[in-house]
Amino acid sequence: MSSTVGTGQRDMVTGRSNPVVHIELHTGDLPRACAFYAGLFGWRPEQIDTRSGSYLALEAGGGLGGGIVQCETRRPLWLPYVEVGELGPATDRARGLGATVLLEPREGPAGWRSVVASPTGAEIAFWQPKEGSDESGALARSPVKPTERLRSQIA
């Protein structure tokens, strides 16, 4: 059963707050973004090659994984990924609260994701790791580097 605190919804299964487990920069100028964040914070992107393409992973510090994606976007934006117990119901709950679904639930190598825009326009992604994936819960906050976890899952 779910519990509500203020206006925030808690995870329907465990009663815990849903953690941010990944951040991703969407930008139209990948080289410039990489240089800026490397110079500002020391975040060095690492290319991860997969069967379906490549991805620039970031070590954002504190065990939080991240990445940079080159894409056509009106403006660069940081997209936080919030872990949820069940992707479909979380996406439907957001829709019911007035969100626009920008990316319907979709499967990837390590789990499922969807992206919504709140009624005020802020974008957020939902993430449900696959069973046995080390991108969930306490394992996502383990001392293993986020890029090492990502590489083991999608390579």
- Is the pTM of the predicted complex or chain greater than 0.85? no
45 torsion bin: left (phi>0), alpha (psi -120 to 50), beta (else): beta
Distance CA 44, CA 91 (A): 32
Q: What is the pLDDT along the chain (155 residues), one digit of tens a residue?
A: 343 333 344 444 456 789 999 999 999 999 999 999 999 999 988 988 877 677 899 888 788 889 999 888 889 999 999 999 999 999 999 999 999 999 999 998 889 999 999 999 999 999 999 986 554 443 343 333 444 544 444 44
Distance CA 119, CA 140 (A): 29
Homologous superfamily of 18-143 in CATH? Answer: 2,3-Dihydroxybiphenyl 1,2-Dioxygenase, domain 1 (3.10.180.10)
Distance CA 130, CA 121 (A): 29
Q: Would you kindly state where each structural domain of the chain is located, as residue ranges?
A: 18-143
* The total number of residues written for the chain in this structure: 155
